[in-house]
A = this chain, B = another copy of it.
Amino acid sequence: LPLRPRDTVHVVAPSGPFDRPLFDVGLAVIAERYSPVLRPDLGSAWRYLAGDDSRRAEELSHALLDSSARAIFCARGGYGSARLLPRLPLADAAPSLFTGFSDLTSVHAALQVLGRVSIHGPVLTQLGKQPPEVRDYFFRLLESPEAPPPLTGTATYVPGTAEGHLVGGNLSVFATLLGTPYLPPLDGAVLLLEDVTERPYRLDRMWTQLRLAGVFSRVRGIVLGDFTACEERGTDYTSGDVLRDLARESGVPCAAGFPIGHGALNYPVALGTHVRLDADSARLTFLEGAVRA
């Protein structure tokens, strides 16, 4: 269902501990439009986690089950949500829209296994730094049943067009779903990938795992978002060079440079909805909205 202003929304921290001032800026953006609810222990920290597994699982489980809420926003990515997957009540989740990216790719995937649509979009520590056009696009995606405007990338790696449901997210998190029950349906999909601070040989290693697992014989197209801070110093090749070669080997239509991920612009997109990729013009067209009227 579309969100309306003042709807109740949950704010959760299922991954890493976060910077509170940055989080507060993002929370204020949400609070201007909706009515966020959050637990007082949201700001917990334990090692590289926003509190132990019990705290994070209880918080996210409650948010998923609450049918009075219309959306779930995440404080930050980092690492940790995959640890919770076996204890989340995913099959009983209310129809609220889960949002987030990066480490939250694992939650998106687990929801998509169950046929759910969710929003690959900014976390709260990132939202405050996003310009008004991204915020407005986010609110429109949450509130309107219409397909959002298309997004454009900057490069064609493999020409061609593809149409299918959108899957994926963070490459390093997506790769860790291989071999588990949480890999989303891939046949006929358009695969979105982005990442941050992964050196080129690591991008190759993760992409090669996808290749050996048969992912590129199942998906129809590849949309590459930002690969932020992925360069290796002192080399004569870029992460873009490596990704272009990997895409060409994979042989699937692929365009790169979409404003999605850890960069200055993280346009939200609805995973599980049908999209059309025109790799020749590096254009991603949305064939439906994230919510139904």
Contact = CB atoms under 8 A, between A and B. Distances in A.
A208 B177 CA distance: 10
A85 B176 contact: no
A47 interface: yes
Interface in A62-103: 78-79, 82-83, 85-86
A54 interface: no
B213 A179 contact: yes
A78 B200 CA distance: 13
B79 A204 contact: yes
A212 interface: yes
Given A175-B176, A176-B205, A183-B179, A82 B47 contact: no
Contacts of A180: 178, 209, 212-213
Interface string A7-22: 0000000001000000
Contacts of A212: 82, 85-86, 177, 179-182
A201 B204 CA distance: 20
Nearest to A103: B205
A242 B48 CA distance: 10
Q: How many copies does the complex hold?
A: 2
Given A47-B235, A48-B204, A209 B242 contact: no
B179 A209 contact: yes
A178 B206 CA distance: 11
A82 B212 CA distance: 9
Given A47-B242, A242-B47, A83 B204 contact: yes
Contact of A209 (B176, B202, B232): B176
Contacts of A205: 79, 82, 172, 176
Interface string A40-68: 00000001100000000000000000000
A180 B212 CA distance: 5
Contacts of A47: 200-201, 235, 237, 242
Given A48-B204, A175-B176, A178-B178, A209 B82 contact: yes
Interface of A: 16, 47-48, 78-79, 82-83, 85-86, 172, 175-183, 200-202, 204-206, 208-209, 212-213, 232, 235, 237, 242
6 contacts: A16-B201, A48-B201, A176-B205, A176-B209, A177-B209, A180-B212
Given A48-B232, A82-B209, A82-B212, 8 more contacts: A16-B201, A47-B200, A47-B201, A79-B202, A172-B205, A177-B212, A178-B209, A179-B212
Smallest CB-CB A-B distances: 7 pairs? A178-B179, A179-B179, A180-B212, A179-B213, A176-B209, A48-B201, A79-B201
